[in-house]
A and B are shown apart, each in its own frame.
Chain A
């Protein structure tokens, strides 16, 4: 299935809005994680605006596709995408992380429409996604389950407990993205505690693995299609990304993992976007 130039332009324009939200939200909140939000926002945009069979008016619709943001600290990206999709008012975005607000620092499914799982403690999302995929198989439903992990996150042992189980139970209704931006909090992943080669590890655990450029919509969507057509095993899409993507002074800079831009920095970032 080939994707039209129009679709790509539409996704590009939505992703641009999402990036602007991420900057504005974190600047307003005075904290948050812009780096890892910017690196995964093209993937999230592609999922919510082309892939997922969801209905913002019925966020708990039982037949919907599921998405689990295992790297929960990228909540600003997910919130921005959900708001653009119409799950809740965009005004909520500017209340991120404020006392009494709906949008918690990390995703809280109880209070936020559109969230399929509560995350924030790294390493736990794939397990939950497995549960959703198993439930789908048990009920003979054809919804699909998507999950996004950080590359540093794959250092967590639970990720591999879960990866083993996804393959064991032949969860071909499950697709995991790895946001392969090469950085975690204390530095490059290969220096802190190398999980490389991530592709080989997933392969060794029995997964089908696809390598893509995580900022190229055509590659993202083609990979999703390939995952759908892969039977008998789960698919891992390892997406090469740039942490801080789109904001020149944030790109590939470790420090922008968990620091909000000041008002001036936000203005500069918005100009670039």
Chain B
């Protein structure tokens, strides 16, 4: 299967949905070629609004559109969407519970060469802390495509997190994405790997590595970080050990969300694979993934260590 970036899937899905849902309007902040909203813009120029390099106004304008019954998708890079415009998202979108979709691309360190200023490792933490907000971090193009549709159908604010870098295909079109539902991609009883976004492919590879050593790992994909699928996490905890994997700071992201569930419902030994509370740097995505210990090897090693106790 070819590798496809989730932002590509977003651009395609949005342009397709535009046909069906006439209330969709798309706003971008001078990054439409990168966020792939340009596909929609080309097809529906009258429903596309470039807001220029002004992310606060981007979010506020989207909010205004939503009060008039439109379904705005506001796109820019994750660091500018969740970071620069955090308070606009909080006060103008989430507090009034407006029907705005924030579709952020270029999340995580696989942004690559642009370096730390452009590599968002905090956006999940920021977005999931706002009441009313739903946070979705799709694993591959198929899931991304379905998540865009689900977000459009959901009434209320949604944060969609997409990557720049092509990722492995995980799902075929038999898959049915549902907001708030995790999926078990591989059964296993010795350890559970709960992964999100770009790390799901790595998690599956880690399970293969572990299998060769006689450790059967369950692999769970959690794309909706909020509301999180508590049931599937508690089920995964039956393995007795949990490794989480995300292309995000280990503070505040998937690892934290899983730990919150487990600490209250079923304390379970766990390790968090993610960015270890530091900024990224320029480099090739694959090299950065190695450098920041976000590979299948790293996940497998963490699982083994957990099993050793």
Contacts and interface: CB of A to CB of B under 8 A. Distances in A.
Interface of A: 62, 66, 68, 108-110, 116-118, 120-121, 123-136, 138-139, 157-158, 161-162, 164-165, 168-169
Contacts of A135: 25, 64-65, 68-70
B67 interface: yes
B266 interface: no
Q: Is the interface of B mostly helix, strand, loop or mixed?
A: helix
Contact of A131 (B47, B52, B64, B87): B64
Highest count of chain B CB atoms <10 Å: which of A128, A129, A158, A165: A128
B95 interface: yes
Given A62-B68, A128-B67, A165 B51 contact: yes
B71 to A, nearest CB: 11
Interface string B37-60: 000000000110101101011011
Interface residues on B, range: 20 to 34
B63 A131 contact: yes
B66 A131 contact: yes
A257 B98 CA distance: 30
Interface in B63-102: 63-70, 72, 87-88, 91-92, 95-97
Contacts of B65: 131-132, 134-135
Contacts of B60: 124-128, 130-131, 158, 162
Nearest to B94: A118
A117 B61 contact: no
B91 A127 contact: no
25 contacts: A108-B95, A109-B67, A118-B92, A118-B96, A121-B92, A124-B88, A126-B60, A128-B64, A129-B64, A130-B64, A131-B60, A131-B62, A131-B67, A131-B68, A132-B68, A133-B64, A135-B65, A138-B25, A138-B70, A158-B54, A158-B60, A161-B54, A161-B57, A164-B57, A165-B57
A132 B64 contact: yes
Contacts of A129: 64
Contact of B61 (A66, A118, A165): A165
A121 B91 contact: yes
B96 A110 contact: yes
A164 B52 CA distance: 10
Contacts of B92: 117-118, 121, 124, 127-128
Contacts, number: 108
A133 B67 CA distance: 11
Contacts of B47: 138
Nearest to B56: A158
A155 to B, nearest CB: 14
B56 A127 contact: yes
Contacts of A117: 63-64, 67, 92, 96
Given A126-B60, A135-B70, 8 more contacts: A108-B96, A117-B67, A118-B96, A128-B61, A130-B57, A131-B72, A158-B54, A158-B60
Contacts of B52: 161, 164-165, 168
Nearest to B49: A134
Given A108-B96, A110-B97, A118 B91 contact: yes
| Among all A-B residue pairs, the 3 with the closest Cβ atoms | A131-B64, A127-B60, A135-B68
B99 to A, nearest CB: 12
Contacts of A116: 67
Contact of A132 (B49, B67, B95): B67
Highest count of chain A CB atoms <10 Å: which of B47, B59, B95: B95
Nearest to A143: B68
Contacts of A62: 68-69
A121 B88 CA distance: 9
A38 B176 CA distance: 56
A68 B66 CA distance: 14
A68 B60 CA distance: 12
Highest count of chain B CB atoms <10 Å: which of A62, A66, A68, A121: A121
Contacts of A165: 51-52, 54, 57, 61
A125 B63 CA distance: 10
Contacts of B25: 135, 138
Nearest to A116: B67
A110 to B, nearest CB: 6
B55 to A, nearest CB: 8
B101 to A, nearest CB: 14
